[in-house]
Amino acid sequence: MRQTQLFTRTRREAPKDEVAKNAELLIRAGFIYKEMAGAYAYLPLGLRVLNKIVGIIREEMNALGGQEVLLTALQNRQVWETTNRWSDEVVNNWFKTKLKNGAEVGLAFTHEEALTNLMRDYIRSFRDLPAAVYQFQTKFRNEERAKSGIMRGREFLMKDLYSFNVDEITHQAFYDRAKQAYLRVFDRVGLGGETYLTFASGGSFSKYSHEFQTVSEAGEDLIYVHEAKRIAVNKEVLNDEVLANLGLKREELVEKKSVEVGNIFTLGTRFSEPLGLSYKDAAGVSKPVFMGSYGIGPGRVMGTIVETHTDDKGIVWPESVAPFAVHLLALFDEAGAVKAAADTLYENLTKQGIEVLYDDRDVGAGEKFGDADLIGIPKRYVLSAKTLQKGEIEIKDRATGVVTMKALSDL
Amino acid sequence: MRQTQLFTRTRREAPKDEVAKNAELLIRAGFIYKEMAGAYAYLPLGLRVLNKIVGIIREEMNALGGQEVLLTALQNRQVWETTNRWSDEVVNNWFKTKLKNGAEVGLAFTHEEALTNLMRDYIRSFRDLPAAVYQFQTKFRNEERAKSGIMRGREFLMKDLYSFNVDEITHQAFYDRAKQAYLRVFDRVGLGGETYLTFASGGSFSKYSHEFQTVSEAGEDLIYVHEAKRIAVNKEVLNDEVLANLGLKREELVEKKSVEVGNIFTLGTRFSEPLGLSYKDAAGVSKPVFMGSYGIGPGRVMGTIVETHTDDKGIVWPESVAPFAVHLLALFDEAGAVKAAADTLYENLTKQGIEVLYDDRDVGAGEKFGDADLIGIPKRYVLSAKTLQKGEIEIKDRATGVVTMKALSDL
């Protein structure tokens, strides 16, 4: 894409009320726009990153056998009353609104109820199981405070998958595969090194749930990391019994602040029983479906990447989620030779299927360099009168700062 | 995809309160699920169709030079008060809700205000123009009644593009290109034949707006069609002056019921003036940006396709938006030879990149045929003991009913 065509521009400063580093950098670099606290619009660069994260998650969910759907934000009061989650005293972050006839409806903060209810139309016998159903859908949560940028929104995109199995044993097998799929997601988006499978509080149906916690000073959680085993324990469940249970020694653990980038949970029959989602087993006996839920917020993942992949000049995107692979900077000369060569190079690279942001703006070199560092595309190609004379281009790696020269004819 | 893996099934009947043909068929065939009146979930087959429609629209918007963003549903009261569209007396279909601090926020029914306000951060001079910005985003409209299935929802996906130009002349050039892009969209999704560019009421800045109206008994609009010129006039503006203006004679026009599948509108400075979106021209003079808006609801398009592409057995999808290209029906024999051959054929077709729904269910031929007709995939491939013996497969075209035999070795 030609940068002169991009409607966004970099800004010196984020809005004054913005306190989160991720939002500050993303706003300054033109990836997002703050509509209000906890609600951010994604601009062209930001949407490209978000879509890449979504694409990686989708691939892993499909590989798990997940079937994609798109549920509604508007929610029926009756369904949520059945599971005792309608009341504001039980769930304190509902957004609710009203139909013209006065009936109250909610804006979904999650979809266990809606999907469990829907699945009653499709699950009858053990032959209809297992099933795994997921969506990328906008959730609404009426957060008291929303100061973490795109890491905790009042309105945010969520991938939520729900699994449906005949019993706990088959559930557990799927759950273990989902755990591996989640680890692959965080590896692939570039958070693998600092993300730990973390034991957290379970529920009636399992001793633990599992969180995926990324170590970051911006995190709201405290975890205790066992580096060698690549696992962690959430502070909320850390006690002697749990340590014994997991075969961990307190002194081997290091306390760290972290961001919960994913969470998987055994629901058991918590929702299927009250909502009547059951199946007939081989003997014709009706049994409640055994469920699990599996969540990742692509926006939160994006915010966490920014929190953990920056230097004092700006963002340093991992290749897999970068808005473009190459940022081509043309330092124009008066004769116009650089522009002509850069135009040709841009066309050639694009034809090869390489995603290029081409800085063809008529501004100084300093501004181009500064903006490129702030935006954080992995490879910076600089073409100037000097490099052109040698038939070369300068390639700088955003992450390492390593500069190499390459013959234009090799591109 | 193997049909045994698909969690949905066909149903004999739609919910009793469903009166729209599109929703009735789509629910029975397992494409959508009714959450409440005017709010439908998209199931795997339905989401595939929706995504194909979205993909076609996206290609045409990108070809127009549109840049994709994703704005928020939550809306600031202040911004909409500026344009006098916050009050429920002015806009009668707002959904509103409240933050914890008591502040009222709206759920966007459209995004002129939000985007105009956002663009103030990015447009300063004539050099920043033109710009065209679009999104696929969920809109909320508190409809009094919602009885048209996915053609008129309380919550629905919308593609809305907004154009920003220095003046009316450059705006008009873009507007004319957008008109052509819209006609291409409706052609490509299979509605070209019955969709008319329709003159409708304009505003302060243009005599007319343009609607794209698809002739259908399910429509809520009345239009007067000039078949030879492929244009129509909306009843709301039909009068002698308009006829003279457009060079049409009343007696050449035929009245038809129709669905508005798209709408393009010259906004002028209706939003840029109150919200202060201006630019400096070459002489340094500040001027308001000249805007246009361009909408298509992909769900409404999908509903309209169903309304206009059915027979008494079910849906007849146009190829470009069908959930799969081929529905492979294996009529199992006891020896298992058909299943083995069908498995191999399924793998082969899939490897060739052909999208196949493979009915590998252990049910009778009648059920398979009935479901295939209802679901409406363009090509039905039937493999039975009889065809297998001849080394052939039966191919039936869903639209024409024409049956041909093909050697398995040719596939």
CA–CA gap between residue A27 and residue B159 (Å, rounded): 24
User: Which residues neighbour B108 within 8 Å (Cβ) at sequence distance 6 or greater?
Assistant: B71, B72, B73, B74, B75, B114, B137, B139, B140
Q: What is the CATH number of the domain that holds A259?
A: 3.30.930.10
- Provide, as residue numbers in chain B, all residues whose Cβ is less than 8 Å from the Cβ of A39: 72, 74
- Provide, as residue numbers in chain B, all residues whose Cβ is less than 8 Å from the Cβ of A6: 67
- What are the angstrom distances between the C-alpha of B377 and each of B238, B309, B381? 40, 12, 10
Q: DSSP E strands: which ranges in B302-387?
A: 310-311, 314-315, 326-330, 356-359, 379-383
Q: Is B9 within the bounds of a domain?
A: no
**Contact A340/B at CB under 8 A:** no
Helices B21-28/B298-308 angle, 10° precision: 90
Amino acid at B222: L
Domain shared by A296 and A337, yes or no: no
The phi and psi torsions of B241 (rounded to 5 degrees) equal: -65, -45
Which residue would you say has higher pLDDT here, A335 or A391? A391
> What are the b/e assignments for A5-39, b being 16+ CB within 10 Å?
ebbbeeeeebeeebebbbbbbbbbbbbbbbbbbbb
Domain shared by A257 and A179, yes or no: yes
Q: Is A16 within the bounds of a domain?
A: no
Domain shared by B132 and B265, yes or no: yes
The yes-or-no verdict on residue B335 having pLDDT over 90 is no
Peptide bond into A44 cis (omega under 30): no
Average pLDDT, integer, range A40-52: 98
Chain-chain contact of A75 with B47 (C-beta, under 8 angstroms): no
Q: DSSP E strands: which ranges in A176-220?
A: 195-203, 206-215
- Provide, as residue numbers in chain A, all residues whose Cβ is less than 8 Å from the Cβ of B69: 41-44, 47
| Residue A88: Cβ within 10 Å count | 10
Scanning the structure block, which residue is given the tokens 């273990």?
A176
Are the C-beta atoms of residues B36 and B149 closer than 8 Å to each other?
Answer: no
Average pLDDT, integer, range B326-334: 95
Domain shared by B120 and B225, yes or no: yes
Q: What is the CATH number of the domain that holds B351?
A: 3.40.50.800
Chain segment B231-283, per-residue pLDDT in tens:
999 999 999 999 999 999 999 999 999 999 999 999 999 999 999 999 999 99
Could you list the residue range(s) of the whole structural domain that residue B394 is in? 324-410
Q: Is A9 within the bounds of a domain?
A: no
- A residues 299..338 contacting B (CB < 8 A): none
CA–CA gap between residue B341 and residue B360 (Å, rounded): 12
Chain-chain contact of A73 with B155 (C-beta, under 8 angstroms): yes
Out of B311, B339, B373, pick the residue that ends a domain.
B311
CA–CA gap between residue B397 and residue B379 (Å, rounded): 5
Chain segment B30-70, per-residue pLDDT in tens:
999 999 999 999 999 999 999 999 999 999 999 999 999 99
User: Which residues neighbour A388 within 8 Å (Cβ) at sequence distance 6 or greater?
Assistant: A337, A338, A341, A408
Domain shared by B387 and B252, yes or no: no
CA–CA gap between residue B191 and residue B308 (Å, rounded): 8
- A residues 89..118 contacting B (CB < 8 A): 95-100, 105, 107, 114, 118
The pLDDT of residue B311: 97
- B residues 9..48 contacting A (CB < 8 A): 9, 11, 33, 35-36, 39-44, 47
The pLDDT of residue B96: 98
- β pairing state of B326-330 and B356-359: parallel
| Residue B59: Cβ within 10 Å count | 14
The pLDDT of residue A203: 85
Q: Which residue of B has its CA nearest to A12?
A: B121
The pLDDT of residue A172: 98
Average pLDDT, integer, range A191-214: 95
Q: Is A10 within the bounds of a domain?
A: no
The pLDDT of residue B411: 85
Number of Cβ pairs < 8 A linking chain A and chain B: 128
The yes-or-no verdict on residue A167 having pLDDT over 90 is yes
Scanning the structure block, which residue is given the tokens 């795994």?
A132
- B residues 201..260 contacting A (CB < 8 A): none
CA–CA gap between residue B208 and residue B202 (Å, rounded): 4
- Provide, as residue numbers in chain B, all residues whose Cβ is less than 8 Å from the Cβ of A67: 5-7, 44
Cut 0.90: pTM above it: yes
Q: What is the 3-state secondary structure (H, E, C) of A328-361?
A: EEECCCCCCHHHHHHHHHHHHHHHCCCCEEEECC
Average pLDDT, integer, range B217-222: 96
Number of domains into which chain B is organized: 2
CA–CA gap between residue A118 and residue B15 (Å, rounded): 13
Domain shared by A305 and A328, yes or no: no
Chain segment A339-351, per-residue pLDDT in tens:
999 999 999 999 9
Query: Kind and range of the H or E element at B397?
Result: strand B392-397
The yes-or-no verdict on residue B140 having pLDDT over 90 is yes
Are the C-beta atoms of residues A289 and A120 closer than 8 Å to each other?
Answer: no
Are the C-beta atoms of residues A337 and A330 closer than 8 Å to each other?
Answer: no
Q: Which residue of B has its CA nearest to A49?
A: B69
Q: Is B109 within the bounds of a domain?
A: yes
Closest among B46, B295, B303 to A72, alpha carbons compared: B46
Chain-chain contact of B7 with A99 (C-beta, under 8 angstroms): no
CA–CA gap between residue B394 and residue B405 (Å, rounded): 5
Q: What is the DSSP string of A157-187?
A: EEEEEEEEESSHHHHHHHHHHHHHHHHHHHH
Q: Which residue of B has its CA nearest to A47?
A: B69
Q: Which residue of B has its CA nearest to A88?
A: B100
| Residue A58: Cβ within 10 Å count | 18
Q: Which two tokens stand for residue B44?
A: 């795997």
**Contact B170/A at CB under 8 A:** no
Helices A44-63/A298-308 angle, 10° precision: 110
- β pairing state of A356-359 and A326-330: parallel
- What are the angstrom distances between the C-alpha of B411 and each of B354, B372, B379? 11, 21, 14
The pLDDT of residue B205: 87
User: From the CA of A70, how many Å to the nearest CA of chain B?
Assistant: 5
Report the residue of A36, A291, A362 to disrupt the B interface, i.e. the one with the largest count of B CBs within 10 Å: A36
Strand partners, B311: B314
Out of A311, A334, A368, pick the residue that ends a domain.
A311
User: From the CA of A334, how many Å to the nearest CA of chain B?
Assistant: 20
Out of A248, A280, A311, pick the residue that ends a domain.
A311
User: To the nearest whole number, what is the mean pLDDT of chain A?
Assistant: 97
Domain shared by B305 and B348, yes or no: no
CA–CA gap between residue A101 and residue A98 (Å, rounded): 8
Report the residue of A72, A99, A128, A164 to disrupt the B interface, i.e. the one with the largest count of B CBs within 10 Å: A72
What is the band of A15 on the pLDDT scale with cuts at 50, 70, 90?
A: confident
Q: Which residue of B has its CA nearest to A9?
A: B122
Domain shared by A263 and A350, yes or no: no
- β pairing state of A290-296 and A310-311: unpaired
The pLDDT of residue A4: 96
Q: Is B12 within the bounds of a domain?
A: no
The pLDDT of residue B201: 94
The pLDDT of residue B290: 98
**In percent, how much of chain A has pLDDT > 90?**
96
Domain shared by A171 and A114, yes or no: yes
Q: Which residue of A has its CA nearest to B45?
A: A69
Chain-chain contact of B121 with A11 (C-beta, under 8 angstroms): yes
Chain-chain contact of A68 with B44 (C-beta, under 8 angstroms): yes
The pLDDT of residue B210: 98
Scanning the structure block, which residue is given the tokens 């559930």?
A171
Domain shared by A269 and A378, yes or no: no
Domain shared by B240 and B264, yes or no: yes
Q: Which two tokens stand for residue A238?
A: 């850390």
Domain shared by A86 and A134, yes or no: yes
CA–CA gap between residue B393 and residue B59 (Å, rounded): 35
The pLDDT of residue A226: 97
Q: Which two tokens stand for residue A136?
A: 């990328």
Q: Is B121 within the bounds of a domain?
A: yes
User: From the CA of A252, how many Å to the nearest CA of chain B?
Assistant: 42
Q: Is B319 within the bounds of a domain?
A: no
